[in-house]
């Protein structure tokens, strides 16, 4: 294993420099990532009594506007002044000015992981964000401890603390949770292609059934080449030897899909991204890997390679799509790197 990474077997107690986790994995599993983040945050300015709600009307089951109205009412009862906005540019501009004046409690995205990613990409660094889970998977919101109960979410927002999180960047776009290359990205691209061509813009888990079946029939599992680069744990510049897999993922947060604890050691403020690759392609290999993931055994498999990285180039001789936080990204090649402390979020208290 080269110098830009740390082996999985050491994740619970190794001395990894900037990436050291020293027992964090077990404590996060017990206490929750959001609670752990809240423990190291800073309080919002005392004058911060303004909240902007950005509504994605097509997220999840399409109930974003109704939820935003309920959130606005609950926030008013807590003494907050609320503005509901449906356009990202307008919300980002208003949030920038309120934050500069010390008045912004948070810019809240009412939607799913796509809404969270849009906010991360579309706002000025330092603007405090929060995510009300109104999408399909809501992986980012769930991992940061946000409740789908309106009153509980509002209490957490009012009493929450500001925490700076790392982000990944691929092809010039930020991602908060993860990047996936290969089969899962082919499914995501197919889901969104069907969504664009449909009168119904809402997505549920059922929206993935036909795209999964289509990808099982058509995806060919080309090799994905992994070229590591960037600073090593000792601070030296170092490039690692290239290798190849058929499934490749880069995580900033631990969960995947419907809540699989894939990257158990991933922490969004530790200065590292977690890269996983799996050697064999094909449907049956994928089913074996999925079973191992469900049981938490994947890190023991000789066909699973895990590394802690800050920079990587992914490429393939075939056509391989990639996805970012459940939205289509593009096709390989792509450069992926860490952006430390790029996103500020308000997380609920312990």
Q: In this structure, is residue 291 part of a structural domain?
A: yes
- Note the pLDDT of residue 59: 59
The answer to the question of residue 30 being in a domain is no
Residue 28 within any structural domain of the chain: no
CA–CA gap between residue 110 and residue 57 (Å, rounded): 9
Q: What is the pLDDT of residue 3?
A: 34
Q: Mark whether 150 and 184 lie in a shared domain.
A: no
Note the pLDDT of residue 36: 60
Please report, in tens digits, the pLDDT of each residue of the chain (350 residues total): 333 333 323 222 333 333 333 333 333 333 456 656 655 678 887 789 999 999 976 655 557 778 999 999 999 999 999 999 999 999 999 999 999 999 999 999 999 999 999 999 999 999 999 999 998 889 999 999 999 999 999 999 999 999 999 999 999 999 999 999 999 999 999 988 887 765 555 666 678 889 899 999 999 999 999 999 876 444 545 566 789 999 999 999 999 988 899 999 999 999 999 999 999 999 999 999 999 999 999 989 999 999 999 999 999 999 999 999 999 999 999 999 999 999 999 999 97
Give the end of a domain, one of 109, 127, 159.
159
Q: Do both 278 and 303 map to the same domain?
A: yes
* Total-model pTM: 0.85
- Spell out where 48-160 has E strands: 50-55, 81-85, 104-111, 128-133
Percent of the chain as helix, strand, coil, to the nearest 5: 35, 30, 35
What's the pLDDT score for residue 15? Answer: 30
The CATH number of the domain holding residue 85 is: 3.40.50.10330
pLDDT score for 40: 62
From 109, 125, 159, give the residue that closes a domain. Answer: 159
Same domain, 198 and 235: yes
Q: In sequence order, what E strands does 86-188 have?
A: 104-111, 128-133, 161-170, 173-175, 178-181
Asked if residues 141 and 150 have their Cβ atoms less than 8 Å apart, the reply is: no
Q: Residue 304 is part of which domain span?
A: 8-23+171-342
Out of 130, 159, 188, a domain closes at 159
| Integer Cα distance of 108 and 89 in angstroms | 14
Strand partners, 55: 110
Residue 193, pLDDT score: 84
Report the C-alpha gap between 27 and 184 in whole angstroms: 30
State the CATH number of the domain containing residue 320: 2.60.200.40
Q: What is the helix (H) or strand (E) element at residue 283, kind and residue range?
A: helix 283-295
Cis ω for the linkage preceding 227 (within 30 of 0) = no
- Asked if 175 and 154 sit in the same domain, the reply is no
In this structure, are 213 and 111 located in the same domain? no
* Whether residues 175 and 151 fall in one domain: no
What is the model's pLDDT at position 148? 95
């Amino acid at each position: 294993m080269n110098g830009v990474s740390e082996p999985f077997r050491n994740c619970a107690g190794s001395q990894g420099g900037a990436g050291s986790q020293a027992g964090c994995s077990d404590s996060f599993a017990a206490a929750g990532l959001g609670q752990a983040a809240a423990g190291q945050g800073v309080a919002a300015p005392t004058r911060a009594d303004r909240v902007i709600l950005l509504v994605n009307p097509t997220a999840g089951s399409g109930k974003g506007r109704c939820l935003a109205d309920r959130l606005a009412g609950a926030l008013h009862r807590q003494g907050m002044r609320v503005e509901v906005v449906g356009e990202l540019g307008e919300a980002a501009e208003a949030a920038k000015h309120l934050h500069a004046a010390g008045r912004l409690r948070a810019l809240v995205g009412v939607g799913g992981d796509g809404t969270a990613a849009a906010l991360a990409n579309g706002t000025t660094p330092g603007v405090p964000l929060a995510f009300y889970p109104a999408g399909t998977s809501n992986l980012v919101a769930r991992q940061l401890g946000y409740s789908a109960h309106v009153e509980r979410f509002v209490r957490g927002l009012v009493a929450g603390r500001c925490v700076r999180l790392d982000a990944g960047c691929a092809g010039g776009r930020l991602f908060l949770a993860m990047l996936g290359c290969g089969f899962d990205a082919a499914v995501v691209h197919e889901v969104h292609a069907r969504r664009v061509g449909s009168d119904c813009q809402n997505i549920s888990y059922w929206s993935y059934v036909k795209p999964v079946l289509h990808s099982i029939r058509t995806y060919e599992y080309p090799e994905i080449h992994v070229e590591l680069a960037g600073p090593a744990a000792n601070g030296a510049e170092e490039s690692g030897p290239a290798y190849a897999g058929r499934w490749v993922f880069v995580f900033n947060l631990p969960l995947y899909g419907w809540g699989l604890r894939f990257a158990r050691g991933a922490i969004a403020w530790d200065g590292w991204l977690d890269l996983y690759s799996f050697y064999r392609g094909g449907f049956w290999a994928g089913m074996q890997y999925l079973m191992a993931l469900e049981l938490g055994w994947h890190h023991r498999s000789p066909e699973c390679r895990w590394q802690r990285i800050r920079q990587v180039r992914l490429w393939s001789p075939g056509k391989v799509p990639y996805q970012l936080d459940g939205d289509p990204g593009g096709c390989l090649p792509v450069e992926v790197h860490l952006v430390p402390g790029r996103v500020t979020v308000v997380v609920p208290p312990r």
